[in-house]
Every structure is written in C-alpha cells, then in structure tokens.
Copies of this chain bind each other. A is one copy, B any other.
Amino acid sequence: MPMNFPELLENMATRNNSIVCFGVDPVIERIPVKGSDIGKRIVKFYTELLAAVADEIAAVKPNYAFFAQYGFEGLKAMETLIAAAKKKKLPVILDAKRGDTGKSSEAYSKEVFEAWKADAVTVSPYMGADSVAPFINYCGKGKGVYVLVKTSNPGANDLQQLRTETGRKLFMETAANVIKWHKPGVGAVVGATNTAELEKITKFFAAAKKKIPLLIPGVGAQGGSAREVAAVLRKVGNDVRIHRINSSSGISCAYEKYGGSDYVSAAVKEVEKLNSEIGALT
C-alpha cells in the first residue's frame, strides 16, 4: 500500500529536518535571469533555486495564479517545475484555491492530480461538502487536500470573522467541517499572521483527535514569524512534522534583502534561517 499524504509529509520532514514549504510564485519583474522567453526565465530561476534548497525544505507550493497569468508559457513552466520537484521527491502542493459544484470539482480534481500531477491542492470551502468531496476522494490514493480555514490576508476578516448561529466564528465553522470531512490527507490552510487563531484551530483539531496537516502561509513578506508559529505548534503538542510553514518571495527574492545578485546563496541562507527559527522537529 502506498503512503498516505500525512506519512509523505512526516517522512520528508524527517529526511530533510525541515517543515519549510517553498512557495513558487513567479513574478517576472523579480526574476534576475536575462532572456526574452518568460517561460524559460521562470524555469531557469526556480530550477536553480530548487536544486540548491531541495535537501533543506520539505515541500514545494506552486501558486497556480502566478503561472497562469503568463498563459500557456507560464503553465508549461509550472509543469516543468512540478516535475523537477517530484524528481527530488518533494511533496508538491498546488495552491489553486479550487472549489465548484460537485461535477465541476470532480473535473478540477482531475486537473490537479492527473493533468498537473500534484500531491496536494488548496480548496475553498464556500460551496460546501459536495464542492470539496471529489478532491477528498483522492486522499485514498495518497493525495492531500488543504481546505482554506483562516487565510493570512486582510480580507480574511470580511467573512471568516463573522460569528455564526452556532456561537462559533465562520473560520471555526469551516474548521468543524474539516473535522467532519476528515480522512487521512485532509488538511487546513491557516495563516501565520494571527498566531492566537492558529493556536485555537490547532487545539480544536487536537481535541478532536484528528491528525490534520496545516499549511501555514504568511511568514516573511506578509509579516508572520516562523519562530512564533513553530512555538504554537509545539505548545499544542502536535507532531510538528506533518505541518508546513510556507515562504514564497521571502525565499526566491531573498537576494533583494541580502543585497547582491547571488539569488541562489541568498535563498539557501533564507531557508536555513527559517529552519533555525523553527528549531528541532522532535
């Protein structure tokens, strides 16, 4: 029997002694590789970065939007980079925020897991159970599904913070749905920008005795702290190794922060800094 997705996450964390997820969000203006072909510049930049950090990270998260904005050229680059990450045995989380009626979500699950060959995907909960079920059905085949619970952006407060008739806020309602829908491989997106809420959600999942991998974006550019996030995860007593803390431009564009043009060394330095902030995993 093949590994399920949480096992894949644990194994990789143990192997590379890291829970860092490298977010791949290409913005051509910030890619210091010369050339006229957008796709080739993206592939060259991220292939170099991936090769350099592959043994110090524990997942790769391409964000569909940043590739799709460049049309077919961008999507071809995404396909190439997914293959490169998989060759390094890194779990690939396609950050695509999918979610539609049952039949459409079924088509999206084929897109994500068969056409793009991702190991996991992010999905939006607004349309409810039948909109996420087709993705969750793939958990039996070793795939993972991260449901958006509490996102890291300012607009998260518009709906997610509303208190509902059950006494819970909407994001906790979504967390309750994640427990209801749970199979091994079902996880949750919880932003790093509010550690109090992260702690609340982590405790809620722990109390339900469910092993729910968290995908935690928002450190670095968005202001969250990897150190604080890791402290929360440890405090709740979860095995930290199933979770992932994501950094995207924080890693790929570390060269802007550290100065100089050596983007590879800057990215490695940033990953090592994140790993050190997160600390020992066991």
Q: What B residues does A158 contact at CB under 8 A?
A: 125, 128-129, 177
Cβ contacts A99-138/B at 8 Å (1 or 0 each) = 1111111011011001110000000111111111000000
CA distance A153 to B151 in the complex (A): 24
Are A125 and B159 in contact, with the CB atoms below 8 A?
A: yes
Are B72 and A72 in contact, with the CB atoms below 8 A?
A: yes
CA distance A68 to B76 in the complex (A): 13
> Most B CB atoms within 10 A — which of A76, A124, A157, A222?
A124
Are A153 and B170 in contact, with the CB atoms below 8 A?
A: no
Q: A126-B148, A128-B153, A155-B129 are in contact. Are A104 and B162 (CB under 8 A)?
A: no
Interface size on A, residues (CB 8 A): 60
Q: Does A4 contact B (CB under 8 A)?
A: no
Q: Which of B65, B102, B157, B159 contacts A108 (CB 8 A)?
A: B65
Q: Does A163 contact B (CB under 8 A)?
A: yes
Are A129 and B154 in contact, with the CB atoms below 8 A?
A: yes
Closest Cβ neighbor of A165 among chain B residues: B163
Closest Cβ neighbor of A153 among chain B residues: B101
Q: What B residues does A159 contact at CB under 8 A?
A: 125-126, 128, 170, 173-174, 177
Are B124 and A69 in contact, with the CB atoms below 8 A?
A: no
Q: What B residues does A72 contact at CB under 8 A?
A: 72, 75-76
A218 to chain B, nearest CB (A): 9
A219 to chain B, nearest CB (A): 13
Closest Cβ neighbor of A76 among chain B residues: B72
Are B101 and A130 in contact, with the CB atoms below 8 A?
A: no
Q: Does A183 contact B (CB under 8 A)?
A: no
Are A162 and B170 in contact, with the CB atoms below 8 A?
A: yes
Pairs of residues from A and B, 3 with the lowest C-beta to C-beta distance, nearest first: A128-B155, A128-B158, A71-B115
